[in-house]
Each structure stands twice: as C-alpha cells, then as structure tokens.
C-alpha cells in the first residue's frame, strides 16, 4: 500500500475527528514541500517586473504613471518577506496573479504557494486555478513569453512537488473539489517535471 491509500489508512488509524492533527507522514511531506519552494526560488527578485500593487492598477486600466506610482507602494525587497506579512493579500479580488508579467509571477508565486501549503487542507485558495495551465495564467508578459517561461527546471519541480502535497493533504481531509482542482493543475502542466514515483 502506498501513496494516498497509505495516508488514508494512517488517518483512519490515528485521526479521530476533523480537528485532530494530520498524520506524521503528511506533516513531513508538508515540511519538505515548503523547504523545496524556499530553496528553488531563493534569490528571485521582481526587478523590472509588475509589482502586486501595480497589478491592481493594471486591472483597473490605469495609466503608465499610475502603474509606476503603485509600484512604489510595494516596499518588500524579497518574496520571503511576504510569506509572513499580514498586509499582503494573495487573493485581493482585483489585480493579483492574472495581471502580473513573467517576472512578477515568478516572484509572487512562492509566497502564495507556501501559504497554500501551510493552510491546507483547511482551505482552497485561488492559486490552484492560476497554476492549471501556463496559457491561463493571465496576459502575456512584456517580452511575450509565457508566465512560466522564466522558471528553472528545479523551480518547476518544486511547484509540482508542492501540488502533489496539496493533493495528498486535501485528499486526507476528503475535500474532493480541492483535490480535483489541484490534480487538474498537476496533470495540465506540472506533472512533466516530476521524477518517477513522485506523483500522487
């Protein structure tokens, strides 16, 4: 027995109610998924790219001057700062991932993904739909490349492994809709970066 079946058995054996903690094997997988994202995206900056506040102005059809002014509002100097920043909202309702370019998307994906890793399986965030297909990640970047065009192989694999964890976590809690969303993202693009035996 392996994979999801093993997690379900461990959950039945150790978890008595929805409020109990997840199995130890799933906790280890969560820590490993988060560590991979931190390592793979270390040093990524948003220099020359669309900032988070700027994405809101773009969504609102703002001018170039308004975009530049909005960019000045984002004072973070590394994406790692956003992971714990309570003022950063990865689901703003206006702007956000769909209005970033390739530089901005690679910068803002890691903190959003880490927050999803930490909050699973208690909630499903909008990031699952943003990762479903590169062509669906929003408008083309300024240089015409896809939003994932700047990702390295290790970054793509880190995202894929994180999605596998999210599938396992939501499946453990039997959140079928959430599992379906993350599985669609994995199968649609990120699965190709996984090594043999790393899938759900």
User: Please, what is the average pLDDT of the chain?
Assistant: 85
pLDDT for res 17? 41
For the cut 60, the answer to whether the pLDDT of residue 8 exceeds it is no
Please check whether residue 125 is in contact with residue 90, taking contact to mean a CB–CB distance below 8 angstroms.
yes
CA atoms 114, 169, 130, 88: torsion sign: negative
- Tokens 């079928």 belong to 176
Would you state the structure tokens that stand for residue 22, as one six-digit string?
Answer: 């997840």
Q: How many helices (H) and strands (E) does the chain have?
A: 9, 0
The domain spans of the chain are 3-193
Q: Rounded to two decimals, what is the model's pTM?
A: 0.84
Residue range 17-52, pLDDT digits in tens: 444 588 999 999 999 999 999 999 999 999 999 999
Nearest alpha carbon to residue 178 among 117, 98, 123: 123
Residue range 74-114, pLDDT digits in tens: 999 999 999 999 999 998 889 998 899 989 999 999 999 99
Q: Collect all residues with Cβ–Cβ distance below 8 Å to 148 and sequence separation of at least 6.
A: 102, 105, 106, 134, 137, 156, 189
d(CA 183, CA 84): 27
């Amino acid at each position: 027995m392996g994979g999801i079946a093993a997690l379900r058995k461990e959950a039945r054996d150790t978890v008595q109610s929805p409020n109990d903690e997840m199995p130890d094997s799933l906790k280890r997988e969560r820590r490993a998924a988060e560590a991979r994202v931190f390592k793979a995206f270390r040093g990524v900056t948003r220099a020359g790219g669309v900032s988070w506040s700027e994405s809101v102005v773009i969504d609102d059809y703002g001018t170039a001057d308004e975009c530049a002014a909005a960019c000045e509002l984002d004072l973070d100097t590394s994406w790692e700062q956003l992971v714990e920043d309570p003022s950063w909202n990865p689901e703003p309702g206006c702007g956000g991932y769909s209005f970033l370019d390739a530089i901005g998307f690679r910068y803002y994906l890691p903190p959003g993904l880490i927050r999803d890793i930490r909050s699973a399986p208690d909630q499903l965030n909008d990031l699952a739909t943003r990762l479903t297909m590169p062509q669906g990640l929003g408008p083309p970047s300024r240089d015409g490349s896809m939003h994932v065009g700047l990702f390295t192989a290790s970054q793509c694999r880190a995202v894929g492994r994180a999605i596998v964890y999210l599938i396992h976590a939501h499946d453990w809690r039997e959140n079928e809709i959430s599992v379906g969303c993350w599985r669609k993202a994995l199968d649609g693009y990120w699965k190709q970066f996984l090594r043999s035996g790393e899938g759900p």
